[in-house]
């Protein structure tokens, strides 16, 4: 079973600028209030493993996903994080897509598709995840609009 967490926000900045901000991992700690640091790469490269350090309501945590897609033309970034043996506990396919609205504005689609037992058994975690993604979206909007 797949549990989807989907968010979106409109950003008053061109899609190219929003995408460039997203792929500058070494600068995330300057603006990102959810994923507070990324190590392993300054910018994403398909096939590389990164380590993301993120805050939830209780602690600083980390995960080490693999970059699946970096598409400057389509302005899309994807990674896959694995939790537990063969994804039985939880896997998360994370995505960002910057859609050009044609008027100097961007629609950011940001979400994650979760599989495994944990997302199904603990819906409260999915609610917290949605809230954290919305926080990240708002921080990105502020960064790109100022």
**For residue 88, what pLDDT is reported?**
66
Residue 84 has what DSSP assignment? S
* Residue 97 neighbours by CB under 8 Å, 6+ apart: 74, 75, 76, 77, 108, 109, 110
**For residue 86, what pLDDT is reported?**
57
**For residue 31, what pLDDT is reported?**
97
Residue 74 has what DSSP assignment? T
Q: Measured between alpha carbons, how far is residue 35 from residues 12, 28, 31, 39, 116 in Å?
A: 22, 7, 9, 11, 22
Predicted structure pTM score: 0.93
Q: Extract the residue ranges of the chain whose pLDDT is less than 70.
A: 84-88
**For residue 85, what pLDDT is reported?**
61
**For residue 125, what pLDDT is reported?**
85
Phi and psi at residue 3, to the nearest 5°: -110, 120
CB atoms within 10 A of CB 93: 17
């Amino acid at each position: 079973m797949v549990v989807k967490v989907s968010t979106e926000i409109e950003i008053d900045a061109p899609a190219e600028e929003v995408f460039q901000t997203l792929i500058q991992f070494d600068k995330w700690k300057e603006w990102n209030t959810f994923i507070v640091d990324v190590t392993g790469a300054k910018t994403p490269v398909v096939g590389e493993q990164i380590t993301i350090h993120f805050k939830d309501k209780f602690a600083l945590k980390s995960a080490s996903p693999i970059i699946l897609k970096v598409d400057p033309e389509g302005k899309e970034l994807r990674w896959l994080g694995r939790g537990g043996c063969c994804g039985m506990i939880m896997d998360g396919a994370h995505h960002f897509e910057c859609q050009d609205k044609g008027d100097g504005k961007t629609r950011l689609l940001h979400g994650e598709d979760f599989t495994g037992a944990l997302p199904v058994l603990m819906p409260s975690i999915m609610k917290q995840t949605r809230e954290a993604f919305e926080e990240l979206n708002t921080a990105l909007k502020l960064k790109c609009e100022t």
